[in-house]
A = this chain, B = another copy of it.
Amino acid sequence: MSKSKRRRRMKKIAMKAGLAPGTLVHIGEARTDKVKMEVIDYSEASFEQKAIERVEECFPFKARPTITWVNIDGVHDIGIIEKIGKEFRINDLVLEDIVNTEQRPQAKDFGSFIFIVLKMAKYDPADDELLTEQVSLVVGSNFVISFQEGKEGDVFGSVRERIRAGKDRIRKMGADYLAHALMDASVDSYFTVLEQIGMKLEDVEDETLNHPTPKTLEQIHKLKRNLIFLRKAVWPVREVASFLERSESPLIEKTTKIYFRDIFDHSLQLIDLIETFRDVAAGMLDIYLSSLSNRMNEVIKVLTIISTIFIPLTFLAGLYGMNFKNMPELGWRFGYYGVLALMVAIVVFMLFFFKRKRWI
């Protein structure tokens, strides 16, 4: 996300200060495009998928015994959110959280529905940019409503495909299992991101060990930063999964809980990976810094060797360049050659000295 975008979003958060709780204000990237909406309705026997134009088109599905998944791709149109809230009896605080894309991942049980906030992650290795998109799920007894920020691309394609195909158990299970499938897809997106970051990390590590430049430092810094943000996003997922696994809500059936346990395990794995990557990145910084020192050492050594060899020679030359009348050596026949010999001797001695110091 560019700096100006981040600033604009921050502004919104601050502006919101002072409003009554339950006031719907969209916080996130400003958008004006039309919200995409889609309904997927299925049971073990039936399957229906349609894009809808007006939000009211999805309301009739609510009464059907089949499982209904309403996917709202964009939360900037407050009107739509309010209509859904009214129809599905979602209270204001929840609606407020849905339109605020700065939420922490979380799960709350409101009796008639469970509210889940998640983040999907995407990574652009070219310019080391980490993008996240918020997904809120409202999970009822026979429906799931998912709210995305409306950014390009989502990670739910595979879930749609599985429902359509109807091969695995997803068509036989309830709304809770659908919620699990969506949550699983969002968690899987982190594995994809971490894979890419892991590769980047290895490239940068190679660079650090072999030919570090100031650019390298910047890359280590960016990696560390992204890992900080990833950790912030993944830690709460653990709690969400654990909350759902241990939930006593009738909305979550016992047979589904073991799947949330599976997500819990995945989140632990993610945290492990992130912490390991952070440790490795910290180690790379140490190497970078010491390689700087090493190179300075080398430069200074060259300077010292050259200076230490030539400074005495130059002095000697200067000595016999003095214009005193009475300098007997100047008249000696082999004076010049003697001085040359002396100079060679000094050079040899110096080289020997550096050799012993292991400088050359």
Binding site for B on A (CB under 8 A): 3, 6-7, 10-11, 13-14, 16-23, 93, 102-104, 106, 108, 155, 157-159, 161-162, 167-170, 180-181, 184-185, 188-189, 191-192, 195, 198-199, 202, 209, 211, 214, 217-218, 221, 224-225, 228-229, 232, 258-259, 261-262, 265, 268-269, 272, 275-276, 279-280, 283, 285-297, 299-304, 306-308, 310-315, 317-327, 329-336, 339, 358-359
Contact = CB atoms under 8 A, between A and B. Distances in A.
B102 A269 contact: yes
A14 B195 contact: yes
B287 A221 contact: yes
Contact of A306 (B262, B279, B280, B312): B312
A199 B9 CA distance: 11
A272 B18 contact: no
State the majority secondary structure of interface residues on A: helix
15 contacts: A3-B202, A10-B195, A11-B195, A22-B168, A103-B269, A104-B268, A217-B290, A292-B293, A303-B303, A311-B314, A314-B318, A317-B319, A325-B331, A325-B335, A326-B334
Contacts of A319: 313, 317
Given A18-B161, A317-B322, 18 more contacts: A7-B202, A20-B168, A20-B169, A103-B269, A104-B272, A211-B358, A296-B297, A306-B307, A311-B314, A313-B318, A314-B318, A317-B321, A321-B321, A321-B322, A322-B323, A324-B335, A326-B333, A326-B334
A158 B18 contact: yes
A276 B321 contact: no
Indicate the member of A195, A224, A319 with the most B CB atoms within 10 Å.
Answer: A319
Nearest to A10: B195
Given A269-B102, A295-B297, A307-B306, A17 B192 contact: yes
B102 A189 contact: no
A217 B291 CA distance: 9
Contacts of A23: 168
Contacts of A168: 20, 22-23
Contacts of A7: 199, 202
Contacts of A268: 104
A280 B228 contact: yes
Nearest to A286: B285
A128 B282 CA distance: 20
A108 to B, nearest CB: 8
Nearest to A233: B272
A60 to B, nearest CB: 29
Given A18-B188, A308-B302, A324-B335, A292 B297 contact: yes
Given A104-B272, A324-B330, A21 B259 contact: yes
